[in-house]
Amino acid sequence: MDDEVIKTEDEPPKGAALIADHVTRLPAKPGVYRMIGEKGDVLYVGKAKSLKARVSSYAKSGGHSNRIMRMISETRAMEFVVTGSEIEALLLEANLIKQLRPRYNVLLRDDKSFPFILVAEDHEAPQILKHRGARKRAGVYYGPFASAGAVNRTLNTLQKAFLLRSCSDSVYDARTRPCLLHQIKRCAAPCVGLISLGDYKELVAEAKSFLDGETGDVQRGLSKQMEAASDDLDFERAAALRDRIRALTHIQGTQDVNAATVGEADIFALHEQGGQVCVQVFFFRAGQNWGNHAFFPRQTQDAEPADILETFIAQFYDGREPPRTVLVSHDPPQARLLEEALTLKAGRNVTLHKPQRGEKRDLVAAALMNAKEALARRMAESATQRKGLEALAAVLGLDAAPERIEVYDNSHIQGANAVGAMIVAGPEGFVKNQYRKFNIKSDKLAAGDDYAMMREVLTRRFSRMLKEEGAERPDLVIIDGGKGHLGAALGVFEELGIEPGTEGIAVIGVSKARRETDTGEKRIDRTMGTGDDQIVMPGKAPFLLPPRDQGLFFLQRMRDEAHRFAIGAHRAKRKKAISANPLDDVPGVGAKRKRALLNHFGSAKEVARAKPADLSAVEGVSSALAQMIYDYFHGE
């Protein structure tokens, strides 16, 4: 790509006049343009075969939708990058949209990485496991799968069928007897020699053949082995082979849709209704449906379905490897260009087309039906969510239904492994990609001081909000707690110069009401859904909502979600702390040396007690490293 950045001088102040001035100096070359707003935020990223021709269309006075007219009026600057070809412009556009997330572009809302199955081959006994993220480990990757659940179900069946190990290398090396997975016939136990490495690698080859789509050959081979074992009167082996064949039959039978004519393909089907869009993506690998996922792109008003799908596919494969075939429900306006870009990205031929007949057309029709159903469910959920927001606004006396709600909660056990959590909700439900967890960092907190923890979390969140331009601002902040927690929150706002209400941020606390027992003692009633949730607001007496109030149900749902997220973050931190090894933080001690030290001394505690001379007796530990380990554990 020719990274020629075109700069201009004497830029007009704004809008169409500014754009027209840029046009006079633009080349008729392919490239990418960015429209920038008053605060320096990127409003829109676009690509062009001819920058001059494409950008000049924005300078015209008519023919624009309301969204585009609003974007032009907000433009205060433009930036350009000239590329060597239109394909490079398309790839750069997708990359910039994903990175900058401009307000006026069609945006891929859920940008998570999809899970794969990995047959890891960096060990003498290959391991089969679920993998998500960068493909750095040596081995063969199969996927993507639509969800972790789809991977787990497939792995479960593959273990039954091929008896491959799923344990980590460190667990494998430390085994002295077979584990439970071998007892329940899900592992051949190569760790203790119950199967030779040669025979185990044959099982690995069979599993890879099956995942490559050679299902019939694998099953026929197992059937022949079962018949031979039966003829030899080895009924135990025959029964084991029978169980493996049943497992393979199950994994094929449980697929939603299997395709005889589709080996490796992704299917994209788009449905639009009421200004909202759903794109349903199906993943086919080895002739089997490996799941589907529904996406709901943003900023799709005034855009044609084919244009939306084209932009969506370009963003979808930014950072993902495309399959050999891409099937679509709408022909993208620049289908050949998109096909060439995907081919360039994959380093092999990629075919993109809208099927007109046969099994492929039926698969696209099935995906389109799922897109319609998913969008209908989404719209129904959005309507319910909007009603809940309006009911909540009425209860709290807000001027309008809040567009962004942030709920805060803490989780710890007597101050240990303390974590603060923030969840976000809006008109379309919970916005999970904006959830945040806060590891409590202050060493000065008293154990279990909830108020101080809440102050730390809110200080970090809202200090950052004030520093960053364009940062998301909540309309309503909900604190899981009573007067004390609310007081801590208001104290943070006062310190930061944020006055609740005038800044457009309402703050409330939600806690369980205390009921008086027969003995006169006040106890918290922890019965869920009884209407005993007490709302605490600044300048008002605490009050309860009626048991069947819609605003109450909405509050309870958000509080429970915050509680779930906080507890999950706390448990993950506690689990990590429990499984941590003191050797993990010793400089110069990696996985291999750590294993050697543990094998030699038996435990990290004995390593910490050892003298430098004893440490240096371990293979791979030099005298200098032995002294470093000794100094680490003895505070020098």
Closest of 142, 134, 136 to residue 118, by C-alpha: 142
Give residue 118's identity as a one-letter amino acid code. Answer: L
On whether the CB atoms of residues 554 and 510 are closer than 8 A, the answer is no
pLDDT value, residue 571: 83
Q: For 116-148, what is each residue's pLDDT tens digit? A: 888 888 888 898 888 887 778 888 888 777 667
Span 443-449, mean pLDDT?
67
- Tell me the residue length of the chain: 636
Q: Say whether both 451 and 554 belong to one domain.
A: yes
Residue 491 pLDDT > 80: yes
Q: Say whether both 514 and 614 belong to one domain.
A: no
Residue 612 sits in a domain whose CATH number is 1.10.150.20
Residue 482 sits in a domain whose CATH number is 3.30.420.340
Highest average pLDDT, of 240-244, 410-414, 473-477, comes from 473-477
Q: For 88-97, what is each residue's pLDDT tens digit? A: 788 778 778 8
3-class SS letters over 598-611: HHHHCCHHHHHHCC
- Give 241 or 20, the one with higher predicted confidence: 20
Query: Which pair of tokens denotes residue 147?
Result: 């969800």
pLDDT value, residue 11: 47
Residue 443, in any domain of the structure = yes
Residue 34 sits in a domain whose CATH number is 3.40.1440.10
Q: Say whether both 442 and 535 belong to one domain.
A: yes
Residue 234 pLDDT > 70: no
Residue 292 pLDDT > 80: no
Residue 386, in any domain of the structure = no
Residue 258 pLDDT > 60: no
Residue 400, in any domain of the structure = no
Q: Say whether both 417 and 539 belong to one domain.
A: yes
Residue 528 pLDDT > 60: no
Closest of 285, 287, 324, 294 to residue 312, by C-alpha: 294
- 59-77: b or e for each residue (b if 16 or more CB lie within 10 Å)? beeeebeeebbebbebbbb
Q: Say whether both 248 and 277 belong to one domain.
A: no
Closest of 479, 483, 467 to residue 505, by C-alpha: 479
Residue 31 pLDDT > 60: yes
Residue 381, in any domain of the structure = no
pLDDT value, residue 440: 80
Average pLDDT score, the chain: 80
Residue 200, in any domain of the structure = yes
Give me the residue label for tokens 């007949």: 357
User: Which conformational region is residue 299 in: left (phi greater than 0), alpha (psi within -120 to 50 degrees), or beta?
Assistant: left
Span 101-129, mean pLDDT?
80
Q: Say whether both 419 and 551 belong to one domain.
A: yes
Q: For 40-58, what is each residue's pLDDT tens digit? A: 788 998 888 888 888 988 8
On whether the CB atoms of residues 119 and 200 are closer than 8 A, the answer is no
Q: Say whether both 542 and 604 belong to one domain.
A: no
pLDDT value, residue 268: 95
Residue 300, in any domain of the structure = yes
- Cα 162-164-170 angle, rounded to 5 deg: 180
Span 375-387, mean pLDDT?
79
- Give 150 or 2, the one with higher predicted confidence: 150
Indicate the number of domains in the chain. Answer: 5
Highest average pLDDT, of 227-236, 524-533, 600-609, comes from 600-609
Residue 174 pLDDT > 50: yes
pLDDT band at 376 (very low <50, low <70, confident <90, very high): confident
> Which of the listed residues 100, 133, 161 is the one where a domain comes to its end?
100
Q: For 533-581, what is each residue's pLDDT tens digit? A: 788 888 888 888 777 777 788 888 888 888 888 888 888 877 776 666 6
Span 438-464, mean pLDDT?
81
Angstrom CA distances, 179 to 124, 330, 467, stand at 19, 52, 53
Residue 221, in any domain of the structure = yes
Give residue 627's identity as a one-letter amino acid code. Answer: Q
Residue 402: asked if its preceding bond is cis (omega within 30°), the reply is no
Residue 524 pLDDT > 50: no
Q: Say whether both 416 and 556 belong to one domain.
A: yes
pLDDT band at 525 (very low <50, low <70, confident <90, very high): very low
- Cα 532-533-535 angle, rounded to 5 deg: 130
Q: Say whether both 66 and 173 belong to one domain.
A: no
Residue 531 pLDDT > 70: no
CA distance 618 to 603: 14
pLDDT value, residue 444: 66
pLDDT value, residue 13: 58
Q: Say whether both 82 and 158 belong to one domain.
A: no
Using DSSP's 3-state secondary structure scheme, residue 563 falls into helix
pLDDT band at 422 (very low <50, low <70, confident <90, very high): very high
- Give 334 or 631, the one with higher predicted confidence: 334
> Which of the listed residues 205, 233, 253 is the one where a domain comes to its end?
253
Q: Give the ranges where 317-400 is alpha helix by DSSP (H).
A: 335-346, 358-396
Q: Say whether both 230 and 301 belong to one domain.
A: no
Residue 396, in any domain of the structure = no
Highest average pLDDT, of 131-135, 329-333, 536-540, 621-625, comes from 329-333
| Domain assignment of residue 627, given as a range | 582-633
Which residues partner with 288 through β-bridges?
A: 285
DSSP string of 478-507? EEES-HHHHHHHHHHHHHHT--TTTTS-EE
Q: Say whether both 130 and 96 belong to one domain.
A: no
Span 160-174, mean pLDDT?
85
